[in-house]
Structure 1
Amino acid sequence: MDRISELPDFTIHHIMSYLSAKEVAQTSVLSHNWYNFYVSFPIFDFHEPYKWFVGDLANKNPERFCKNETIRFRKRLHRFTEFVDDFLVRFSNLKLCMQKFRLLIGLLDVEASSILDKWIGLAIKNEVKELDLNVQTDKNAMYPLPWIIFSAASVNALKLEGCKLGQIPETIRLYSLKSLILKKVFIKEEIVQKLTNQCPLLEDFSLDYFWGLSHISIVQPHKLKLCSIVEPVDELKSVKVAAPSLQQLVIIGGVRRSIVIDVAECSNLKVLKLKAVNLIDQEFHRLMSKFSVLEDLEVTLCALLEQIMISSDRLKKLRISYCIKLKEIEIDTPNLLSLHYWNHPILTSKVNVPCPWKLYFINAVDELGNKVDPDVQWFLNMKRFLGASNQIKLLSINVKSNRDSFNLEEFRNSLSSLPCEVEKLWLLLDAPPSSFAALLDGLLGIGYSREFCVLINHEVHHNFIEWLYKEMTNRDNNCCNSRNIKCWRHYLKDFKIRGFHFPPSIDSPSLKKPLDVNAVMDLWPKLPNGILQCRLDWCFPESLE
Structure 2
Amino acid sequence: MEETDLISKLPESIIHHILSYLNSPKDLVRMSILSYYWFGFTASFPIFNFNYVEFMQVLKSSGTPFDTEEHQMDLFFLKYVQYTISRFCEQNVSVHTFNIMTSFRDLTDVAIIDKCLGLILENGVKVLVIDMHNWTYRLQHPQMYHVPNIFLSAPSLASLKLCYCEIPSSFMVDVVKFKSLKLLHIECVRLNEEVITSFTTSCPLLEEFIVIYCYGLKRFCVYEHLNLRQVKIRFIPEFDRIDIDAPNLCFLCLHCKYDERGVSPSMNLASCKKLTKVCYHGERLVDLSHNFPFLEDLFLDLPKKCKRLTLSSHSLRTFMLNSECDLGNIDLNAPNLLLFGFTDNLHFHSPMGSFSIPSKPCMEWDHNTLVEDNWFKKLRQFLDKKLRFKELKLHINVVLYRPKLN
Query: TM-score range with shorter-chain normalisation?
Result: 0.7 to 0.9
Counterpart of 1:271?
A: 277
Counterpart of 1:470?
A: 403
Does 1:262 pair with 2:264?
Answer: no
User: 1:51 pairs with 51, 54, 61, which one?
Assistant: 54
The answer (yes or no) to whether the contact 2:192–2:219 under 8 Å persists in 1 is no
Task: State the SS of the aligned residue for 1:172.
Answer: coil
The answer (yes or no) to whether the contact 1:319–1:339 under 8 Å persists in 2 is yes
Q: How far apart are the structure 2 equivalents of 1:86 and 1:248?
A: 42
- Give the 5 Å matches for 1:326-405: 327-340=329-342, 342=344, 354-358=361-365, 360=367, 381-387=378-384, 391-394=391-394
User: 1:39 pairs with 43, 46, 66, which one?
Assistant: 43
Does 1:115 pair with 2:112?
Answer: yes
User: 1:29 pairs with 17, 30, 33, which one?
Assistant: 33
Task: State the SS of the aligned residue for 1:187.
Answer: coil
Counterpart of 2:197?
A: 193
**CA shift digits 1:294-344 (9 cap, x unpaired):** 33102222778955233335523432535699944133243523422559x
Counterpart of 1:507?
A: none
Task: Sort the Cα spacing of 1:35 and 1:181 in 2 relative to 1 into closer, same or farther, 3 A.
Answer: same
The answer (yes or no) to whether the contact 2:298–2:316 under 8 Å persists in 1 is no
Does 1:130 pair with 2:91?
Answer: no
Deviation, 1:156, is 0.3
Task: State the SS of the aligned residue for 2:18.
Answer: helix
- Give the 5 Å matches for 1:493-504: none
Amino acid at match of 2:273: S
Q: How far apart are the structure 2 equivalents of 1:268 and 1:151?
A: 32
Max Rg structure:
1
**How many residues are matched?**
367
Higher relative contact order (CA 8 A, sep 6+): 2
Q: How far apart are the structure 1 equivalents of 2:320 and 2:233?
A: 20
Amino acid at match of 2:167: L
**CA shift digits 1:12-45 (9 cap, x unpaired):** 2222122232111112212222211121111111
Q: How far apart are the structure 1 equivalents of 2:150 and 2:362?
A: 53
Amino acid at match of 2:402: Y
**CA shift digits 1:263-303 (9 cap, x unpaired):** 222221021112115346xx343224x22xx3310222277
Task: State the SS of the aligned residue for 1:106.
Answer: coil
Q: How far apart are the structure 2 equivalents of 1:101 and 1:2?
A: 30
Counterpart of 2:13?
A: 10
Does 1:99 pair with 2:96?
Answer: yes
Counterpart of 2:77?
A: 80
Task: Sort the Cα spacing of 1:94 and 1:278 in 2 relative to 1 into closer, same or farther, 3 A.
Answer: same
Does 1:310 pair with 2:312?
Answer: yes
Q: How far apart are the structure 2 equivalents of 1:9 and 1:166?
A: 37
**CA shift digits 1:419-442 (9 cap, x unpaired):** xxxxx432xxxxxxxxxxxxxxxx
Runs (5+) with no aligned partner, structure 2 = 61-66, 346-359
TM-score computed with the length of structure 1 as normaliser? 0.60
Farther-moved stretch of structure 1 (246-255 vs 17-26): 17-26
Counterpart of 1:348?
A: none
Deviation, 1:173, is 0.4
Q: How far apart are the structure 1 equivalents of 2:326 and 2:106?
A: 46
The answer (yes or no) to whether the contact 1:54–1:77 under 8 Å persists in 2 is no
Does 1:253 pair with 2:256?
Answer: yes
Q: How far apart are the structure 1 equivalents of 2:325 and 2:108?
A: 49
Task: State the SS of the aligned residue for 1:470.
Answer: coil
Structure with greater helix percent:
1
The answer (yes or no) to whether the contact 2:226–2:247 under 8 Å persists in 1 is no
Counterpart of 2:87?
A: 90
The CA RMSD over aligned residues, in Å, is 3.3
